[in-house]
Homo-oligomer: A and B are copies of this chain.
């Protein structure tokens, strides 16, 4: 089995609502659309699929529901640190949910307000937003090996 992910599929409550956020809000281009599914290109050989949770459950099985976040994050890495803040602003304008930052600053003060990216223990700078279903996107600058791999050169 080759080391490849071809599609990441998220179950969503309302595909039209997801479309409004990703396509109308963020300006992303649909690659494929059919009733109950919206597929967006997210890499050279990668598709991002938003699938009606009703159809998802029919094929994959009942979804784990309850309080709390889904056990995944999608990261969008950028080169310059300042671009983290720019992208968070774009997402905010597109209607993303602010996400409480659960980690306080290193001086032990109160957690910064939502929408504020913070310096991370692992050496980078990042902040989160929630999509219409609450899926967490981390906008990150991870200088070194991670950014060298994931941020395409212009």
Contacts and interface: CB of A to CB of B under 8 A. Distances in A.
A39 B71 CA distance: 16
Interface of A: 1-11, 26-29, 31-32, 34, 39-48, 53, 56, 58-77, 87, 90-91, 99-100, 102-103, 122, 128, 133, 136, 138-140, 145-146, 149-152
The copy count of this chain in the complex is: 2
A75 B9 contact: yes
Contacts of A43: 4-5, 43-46
Contacts of A5: 8, 42-43, 46, 48, 74-76
A139 to B, nearest CB: 8
B76 A10 contact: no
